[in-house]
Amino acid sequence: MLAAMLRCRVLTSSVAVAVIVGLTVAGCGLMVGRPGVEQRTPQGPTAEDMFKLRGVAMNGREPNFTERHQWDSLMEQKISEYLLKHPEKANALNVSTFRFLRQVTTGMDQEQVLILLGPPIEVSENPARMEQIARRYWPQIQGNATTVWTYLEGWAIYIAGQNVVDITQYLPPGV
């Protein structure tokens, strides 16, 4: 009986050690952080993603149900008002992306971007700054964009005239 109890204790201790080692290894993996992101894409962030990011940045938490509901109602109102004011855009091919997905895409105008993402963190017309933000994609963007708007999570929206001409995202590894 005593021998059985000792074997049980050793087994329990071994399991506990294995669990602790596993959690430690997993914790170390989390400390390393996520891999970096560097992309050029025709589809940028969604309005909902940006809303959540701003909530976390301002309040240290994602918006609650009431805040999300109020935001959703306001967003629907802004989009409806925009489409009433611009009926030619209501029939455009990308209207579903604007109205239902609420995602910034190339070809959208500045007003649509502001409705979806809100005001940018930074606005620059300086080619040197735009090159710095565009990183390795600058050769493709140079000459096409006159302004860059930057947002949370490394998103950059490049504009020429009134329209979005390019979108990039850069997040260094571990952020």
Would you give the end-to-end CA distance of the chain in angstroms? 54
pLDDT reading at 89 higher than 90: no
What is the bridge-based pairing of β-strands 122-124 and 103-105? unpaired
Q: How far apart are CA 92 and CA 138, in angstroms?
A: 29
Per-residue pLDDT, 22 = 43
**pLDDT category, 90, cuts 50, 70, 90?**
confident
In percent, the amount of the chain with pLDDT more than 70 equals 80
Listed range (48-62, 87-101, 155-169) with the worst mean pLDDT: 87-101
Task: Please answer whether residues 147 and 125 qualify as being in contact, where contact means their C-beta atoms are separated by less than 8 angstroms.
Answer: yes
What pLDDT score was predicted for residue 175? 66
pTM: 0.78
Flag whether pLDDT at 63 surpasses 50: yes
pLDDT value, residue 60: 95
Confidence of residue 95 (pLDDT cuts 50, 70, 90): confident
Q: Has residue 93 got a pLDDT over 80?
A: no
